[in-house]
């Protein structure tokens, strides 16, 4: 496993500017996609969010009343602090915050992975998916929101999109010490992990995708 402490500290550094940079480049694309996907999922008892950053996705999930209880695992302490600030004292009571999902010993109806698998190389994503399957209830769902470079439904990334991701990986390697040097093939890895695709939502013609998976 890559050095999680280093990744957390790297994203600590980025916390004050992260959301503004995302907005500058993508406007509300990420939030809209996350909101659309979450609003199509019925309410569940409990939800685990891993790598939710400054908590915009948790804010959406709570606004949509997605779950009665949440686990929010985020390596960056500063991102967690920003997330807590988005919530009222009563809403904070609904959430258990932690850094590392490996310390969890309960299972979930819904696991949400927003732009976090892209921090890891293919081998690590495979390991993460098998661990996460164990944290998922038998009828549990996994919602993944991330970039995509795989040729799905006729999509092919153009040269600007490829270049953008190359630069992004260089940036996150330097600042956050991520081990990945390119986007892992998330769809292929989910299929290999025996997850079943239920539904997808996309932006930018399929470059950015949300996908819902189950273990059935």
Ligand X SMILES: C[S@@+](CC[C@H](N)C(=O)[O-])C[C@H]1O[C@@H](n2cnc3c(N)ncnc32)[C@H](O)[C@@H]1O
Is 7 among the residues that bind ligand X (CB under 6 A)?
A: yes
Interface segment toward ligand X; rule CB under 6 A; list 3-11, 133-141, 192-200, 206-214: 3-11
Cα 79 to Cα 49: distance, rounded to the nearest angstrom: 13
Comparing CB distances to ligand X, the nearer of 63 and 216 is 63
Q: Tell which positions 18-77 bind ligand X, by CB under 6 A.
A: 22, 30, 50-53, 73-76
In contact, 79 and 88? CB cutoff 8 Å: no
x/- letters, 109..128, toward ligand X (CB under 6 A): -----xxx--x---------
Residue carrying the six token digits 């409990």: 46
Cα 161 to Cα 138: distance, rounded to the nearest angstrom: 37
> Which of 50, 68, 57 shows the shortest CA–CA distance to 22?
57
**Dihedral (Cα; 144, 150, 151, 152), 10-degree rounding:** -10
- Which residues lie across from 172 on neighbouring strands? none
Comparing CB distances to ligand X, the nearer of 77 and 91 is 77
What is the bridge-based pairing of β-strands 95-98 and 108-114?
Answer: unpaired
x/- letters, 139..178, toward ligand X (CB under 6 A): ----------------------------------------
Comparing CB distances to ligand X, the nearer of 22 and 61 is 22
Binding residues vs ligand X (CB under 6 A) = 4, 7-8, 11, 22, 30, 50-53, 73-76, 79, 101, 114-116, 119
């Amino acid at each position: 496993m890559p050095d999680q402490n280093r990744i957390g500290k790297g994203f600590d550094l980025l916390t004050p500017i992260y959301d503004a940079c995302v907005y500058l480049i993508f406007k509300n694309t990420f939030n809209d996609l996350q909101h659309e996907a979450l609003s199509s999922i019925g309410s569940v008892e409990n939800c685990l969010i891993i790598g939710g950053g400054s908590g915009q996705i948790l804010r959406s999930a709570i606004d949509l009343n997605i779950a009665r209880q949440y686990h929010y695992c985020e390596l960056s302490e500063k991102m967690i602090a920003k997330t807590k600030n988005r919530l009222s004292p009563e809403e904070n009571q609904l959430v258990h915050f932690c850094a590392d999902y490996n310390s969890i010993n309960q299972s979930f109806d819904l696991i949400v992975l927003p732009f976090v698998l892209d921090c890891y190389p293919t081998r690590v994503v495979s390991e993460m998916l098998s661990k996460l399957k164990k944290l998922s209830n038998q009828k549990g769902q996994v919602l993944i929101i991330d970039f995509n470079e795989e040729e799905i439904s006729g999509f092919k990334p153009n040269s600007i999109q490829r270049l953008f991701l190359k630069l992004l990986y260089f940036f996150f390697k330097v600042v956050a010490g991520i081990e990945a040097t390119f986007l892992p093939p998330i769809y292929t890895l989910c299929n290999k992990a025996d997850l079943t695709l239920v539904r997808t939502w996309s932006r930018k013609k399929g470059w950015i995708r949300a996908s819902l998976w189950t273990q059935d």
